[in-house]
């Protein structure tokens, strides 16, 4: 599956980053770029990463999610794929993330 990252238009101080496909060290650059832009946007009150389309994620994705988490503005929009859920569980990071059932739910938090 092709790796894609789409940044939806900001609305009410919320930016949604939609990720789909397999993400690893070689393909994480678009997510890193979108995360960089979101982190430096002071007008954002929330950064939503839609992970429902992820088919694979390694520690490079986890690193980007942790960086966004440190801003205090991150919400993951699911459903969280089984492979990513396992990665978060194995690393002990799952309890740190706020997860909404979908992007609309994440925007409303």
Domain ranges of the chain: 4-108
Q: How confident is the model at residue 87 (pLDDT cuts 50, 70, 90)?
A: very high
pLDDT given for residue 55 in this prediction = 96
Q: How confident is the model at residue 2 (pLDDT cuts 50, 70, 90)?
A: confident
CA distances from 19 to 3, 71, 80 (A): 8, 19, 12
- Judged against a pLDDT cut of 80, whether residue 82 lies above it is answered with yes
- Cα gap 66→60, rounded to integer Å: 10
pLDDT given for residue 7 in this prediction = 98
CA distances from 88 to 7, 40, 101 (A): 23, 25, 17
Rounded to 5 degrees, φ, ψ at 63 are -60, -45
Q: Does domain 4-108 have CATH number 3.30.750.24?
A: yes
Q: Which of 11, 12, 17 is nearest to 75 (CA)?
A: 17
- Judged against a pLDDT cut of 90, whether residue 1 lies above it is answered with no
Reported as a single tens digit per residue, the pLDDT across 19-78 is 999 999 999 999 999 999 999 999 999 999 999 999 999 999 999 999 999 999 999 999
């Amino acid at each position: 599956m092709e790796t894609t990252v789409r940044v939806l238009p900001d609305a009410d101080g919320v930016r949604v980053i939609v990720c789909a496909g397999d993400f690893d060290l070689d393909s994480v650059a678009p997510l890193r770029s979108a995360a960089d832009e979101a982190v430096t946007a002071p007008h954002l009150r929330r950064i939503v990463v839609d992970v429902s389309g992820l088919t694979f994620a390694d520690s490079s994705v986890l690193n980007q999610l942790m960086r966004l988490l440190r801003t205090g503005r991150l919400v993951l929009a699911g459903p969280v794929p089984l492979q990513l859920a396992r990665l978060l569980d194995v690393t002990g990071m799952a309890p740190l993330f706020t997860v909404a059932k979908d992007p609309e739910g994440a925007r409303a938090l």
